[in-house]
Structure 1
Amino acid sequence: MGYLTKLLLGIVLLYAGAEALVWGAKNLSVQAGVPAAVAGVTIIAFATTAPELFVGVISSTDYRAKLGLGAIVGSNIANIGLVLGITALIRPLEVDGSVFRRDVPAMVLAAVALVALGWDWTYGAFDGAVLLAGLVVFTVVLVRSVRGDRADAADAETATEPVSEPVATDGGVVAERRVEPALYVGAVVLALALLLVGSRQLINGGSGTMAYLGMGDRLIGLVVLAFGTSLPELAASVVGAVRGETDFSVGNVVGSNVYNILAVMGVVALMGTVFVPFEIHETDFLALLAFTAAAVGVMAYKRRVSRFDGLLLVGGYLVYARWFLLG
């Protein structure tokens, strides 16, 4: 199988796996009563981060960990410039207040931590432990917030909604029509298998194709792998925008960027020392901070991302790709 065929197959499998993962995870969250904005930051964001995790871990086992670093940095930049920008072009995005107050600062702190820890040109076990500790703190804050939101929602529902009549089945037992959770769990398991195979094909095909064209690991990670692993975020956010679930779309981008750094880079750094290439240290780290600041700026303005904002984000990414990546 040629490198280009492997590359295309990897992207298709990653996309299919991410779609199955998002579908299963989203429906599990609905059954758990998690609001759309919270589901976007937590379950869906973590689900769409799975490709980056698989790519990072597999590239580390192949002793090409800087591929994983490039994919993480490039994916976060693409999530803001392309995913958030394109989604806003489709439909202006409203930013949920809790997402802006709680999760956007976490995205900023994660980006700053990634740059600060890698400023000495390496990531080691200590750096990985710091990032994973940040993940634990972020998760604890999210869980407490979700519990508080669910308690408030339950109190409001009890106070405002009338008692409805029970619906009896043929056996006289009250029941709710719903798909069995086992189906959603099965979709998640299948998705993980597709992501594993797709990640391997994407790395082999992408690195082989671009190496043949004379490009190094930085460009392979920042262009091919980052774009390929950002497809799940793009698909999930675009679907959310088309359906009018803009809280879901914004939360997906913010949450994915947090998990990319804290979870994926934390695991990769624990697996072995990662050396930071010169171009990532001098250019891409600054680009990550710039795009993160741009995202905060557009979200802070009236708590929405307009079509004009989306145009600026996409334009900024195209400028970055043209002048700083492709030369």
Structure 2
Amino acid sequence: MTDLLLQIGIFIIAVAVLVWASDKFIDAADSIGKFMKLPSFIIGVLLVGIGTSLPELVTSLVAVAESSSEIVVGNVFGSNIANMFLVFGAATLFSKSFEIKHDIMKTDLPFLMLATGYISIAVMDLRFSFGEGIICLIMLLLYLYRSLKDGAIETLIEEKAHKPTIKDWIFILLTPLLIFISSKFLITSIKEIAAIIGVGNEIVASTAVALGTSLPELMVTIQAGRKGQNEMAVGNVLGSNLFNILAVMGIPAMITTLIIPQSIIIFTLPMLIMSALLFMIIAQAKKVYRIYGFLFILMYIYYNLKQYDLI
């Protein structure tokens, strides 16, 4: 029991440091990027896309380096389920009036469904190879191209760039090290917790890690929903999920073939497909009601309890 509590403590601290360091890295990169007059689209893609998936990406790369590739798919699928059921559900539940005005059916939603469909088929043989990772990265580049062409990715507002502070330079240099170290501790704690409670590494990754790395987005999205900034909430889910599938799965697969646990195929994958289909049906309807958010959150609670055979 003492060992379990110790590992849970390490897990919580590692997730907190990972999320904090990622957030500070993004802020520093934003400040330095504007000062260097980088194109607003480039800054936007790095911050909105890769930035929001940075904890998942680094954690997955560390997992691959430690021969625990099953954590990668658990991390990605669990994060996407959390984004759709928990983050989008909470935004809907806490919003006074939720309407989607942006034409997400033109580029964003079709790409999300295409990516989800592709990854669902690709992992059925319990392996995710180099070639399949290449296809993910090609799809990511196509999505970025279409988004730029259609104007789906908002450009940053031009403003007078201030000279980066010493703190910005310190963060841009030191936070990558913090992100790496916290990811190492996170992977170690996942293995220890899984061994102690008798579940697979992928289950801890798809539940506890996914929830931990989604908490900042959850808080931001709830506030956005309460302020009526519904487009931000939807864009947050779409962008993060696309980068999770295409980059966080694609890049580690370039290093080694990812092994997909049978438990992912049996339960997590069907839940991923269900969450994506429900999100598509509700999002394309433009008008979203609070009852949907309540049902989505119930589905997320069910998903987590079922993973640990608590129901």
Both structures adopt the same fold (TM-score exceeding 0.5): yes
Q: Say whether residues 1:134 and 2:139 are aligned partners.
A: yes
- Give 1:308's aligned residue: 291
Post-superposition offset of 1:267: 0.9
Q: Which amino acid aligns with 2:86?
A: L
Distance verdict in 2 for CA 1:298–1:325, change over 3 Å: farther
Distance verdict in 2 for CA 1:8–1:222, change over 3 Å: same
1:10 is paired with a residue of what secondary structure? helix
2:112 is paired with a residue of what secondary structure? helix
> Quick check: 1:52–1:229 contact (8 Å CA) kept in 2?
yes
Unaligned runs of 5+ residues in structure 2 are: none
- 1:3 and 1:148 mapped to 2: Cα distance? 40
- Give 1:161's aligned residue: none
Distance verdict in 2 for CA 1:112–1:318, change over 3 Å: same
Q: Say whether residues 1:79 and 2:83 are aligned partners.
A: yes
> Quick check: 1:111–1:289 contact (8 Å CA) kept in 2?
yes
Distance verdict in 2 for CA 1:78–1:15, change over 3 Å: same
- Give 2:300's aligned residue: 317
Distance verdict in 2 for CA 1:279–1:294, change over 3 Å: same
1:9 to 10, 13, 35: 13
- 2:233 and 2:172 mapped to 1: Cα distance? 20
- Give 1:179's aligned residue: 162
- 2:283 and 2:129 mapped to 1: Cα distance? 34
- 1:306 and 1:190 mapped to 2: Cα distance? 44
- Give 1:160's aligned residue: none
Q: Say whether residues 1:107 and 2:90 are aligned partners.
A: no
Residues 178-218 of structure 1: CA deviation (Å, up to 9, x unaligned): 53356767655554343323222222223212321222112
- 1:57 and 1:21 mapped to 2: Cα distance? 18
Q: Which amino acid aligns with 1:135?
A: L
- Give 1:279's aligned residue: 263
2:53 is paired with a residue of what secondary structure? helix
2:149 to 129, 139, 144: 144
Structural mapping, 1:283-302, within 5 Å: 283-301=267-285
Structural mapping, 1:79-98, within 5 Å: 79-91=83-95, 92-98=97-103
> Quick check: 1:6–1:204 contact (8 Å CA) kept in 2?
no
Q: Relative to structure 2, which stretch is displaced further, 271-280 or 287-296?
A: 271-280
Distance verdict in 2 for CA 1:247–1:193, change over 3 Å: farther
> Quick check: 2:147–2:153 contact (8 Å CA) kept in 1?
no
- 1:184 and 1:243 mapped to 2: Cα distance? 29
- Give 2:231's aligned residue: 247
RMSD across aligned positions (CA): 3.1
- Give 1:20's aligned residue: 24
Distance verdict in 2 for CA 1:25–1:65, change over 3 Å: same
Distance verdict in 2 for CA 1:148–1:226, change over 3 Å: closer
1:216 to 184, 196, 200: 200
1:251 is paired with a residue of what secondary structure? helix
Distance verdict in 2 for CA 1:64–1:147, change over 3 Å: closer
1:200 to 164, 184, 189: 184
- 1:24 and 1:98 mapped to 2: Cα distance? 32
> Quick check: 2:102–2:231 contact (8 Å CA) kept in 1?
no
Post-superposition offset of 1:52: 0.7
Residues 237-284 of structure 1: CA deviation (Å, up to 9, x unaligned): 234334443222211111000000100100111111112111111221
- 2:251 and 2:198 mapped to 1: Cα distance? 30
Of all paired residues, the percent bearing the same amino acid is 24
- 2:55 and 2:123 mapped to 1: Cα distance? 22
- 2:290 and 2:184 mapped to 1: Cα distance? 36
- 2:17 and 2:268 mapped to 1: Cα distance? 28
Q: Relative to structure 2, which stretch is displaced further, 215-224 or 132-141?
A: 215-224
Distance verdict in 2 for CA 1:99–1:192, change over 3 Å: farther
- Give 2:74's aligned residue: 70
- Give 1:47's aligned residue: 51
TM-score (normalizing by structure 2): 0.84
- Give 1:157's aligned residue: none
> Quick check: 2:100–2:230 contact (8 Å CA) kept in 1?
yes
> Quick check: 2:122–2:128 contact (8 Å CA) kept in 1?
yes
Unaligned runs of 5+ residues in structure 1 are: 155-175
- 1:18 and 1:223 mapped to 2: Cα distance? 20
> Quick check: 1:73–1:222 contact (8 Å CA) kept in 2?
yes
Larger radius of gyration, structure 1 or 2? 1
